[in-house]
Amino acid sequence: MTTLDTRLPGLLKGKQPLFGMFVGIASPAIVEMCGHAGFDFVILDNEHGPASIETTEHLIRAARCVNVIPVVRTLEADILRILDIGASGIQVPQVNTAEQARRIVAASKYPPVGNRGAAFSPRAAGYGFSGGPAHAKASNEGIGVILMIETREALANLDEILAVPGIDALFIGPNDLSFSMGHEGNQKHPEVIEAIDSAIKKIARTEVAAGLMTIPVEDQRKYAGLGARYLTTQIAAVIGGALKSTVAAMRAQK
């Protein structure tokens, strides 16, 4: 086994939906549990989550231990460090233009494809044990690039973003999109739902995988039917729901 898990781009090109969990709790045990439960991937949340770069490295190790693919939601400025610690994919929020998309793809790929800085001493290259041209090639082909569509501007530029080479998936962010559309937090507003449905259908007609967050998870059946293949839910919602159900069940015994 090499340090780097390079399955994601190939899986995103397939026909079967992939199911993942957003993990904003900086706990390797939670990541391991997601793997044991059978999720295809986890998204380690470095946009809203508290994890440092060092903690994120341990979360990626935990994912590798249970053979679940570690994607990191990361700000653009941190892409290089996230890839050097061994992420299998990056998921960048608030991507609004094709120019920004091209910049992110370039930052994710070694030359001559992109402009990622080369160092083979970090974890991704096995601390030098698996570095060199073979590692660069495997990284360029096997690191997933996922961009988040979360604003009216991004929807308006969706065709141009889809035309950028090197994108593996576009992920709709319903909550931010609802704010951008003037329906603050109301992800079920008809205008928001219509925008999401239209975007998923448009993305699904291309070679780029369509994805989104769904709470409740029952909505995944609908979006898989529309062509989405990169489907997630969120750990706090899952744990919170289980805790509420458990408390309700315990109190019902009185």
Amino acid at 247: V
Amino acid at 37: A
Mind telling me the catalytic residues?
48
Structure tokens at 209: 């995988």
Task: Using the CB atoms, write b or e for 14-35: b if 16+ within 10 Å.
Answer: eeebbbbbbbbbbebebbbbbb
Beta carbons of 232 and 248 less than 8 angstroms apart: no
Amino acid at 19: F
Cα maximum dimension of the chain: 68
Provide the CB-side half-sphere exposure for 218 (13 A, CA).
1
3-class DSSP assignment, residue 146: strand
Contacts of residue 174, defined as CB under 8 A and 6 or more positions apart, other chains included, come to 187, 192, 196, 212, 213
Provide the CB-side half-sphere exposure for 124 (13 A, CA).
29
Give the length of the chain: 254
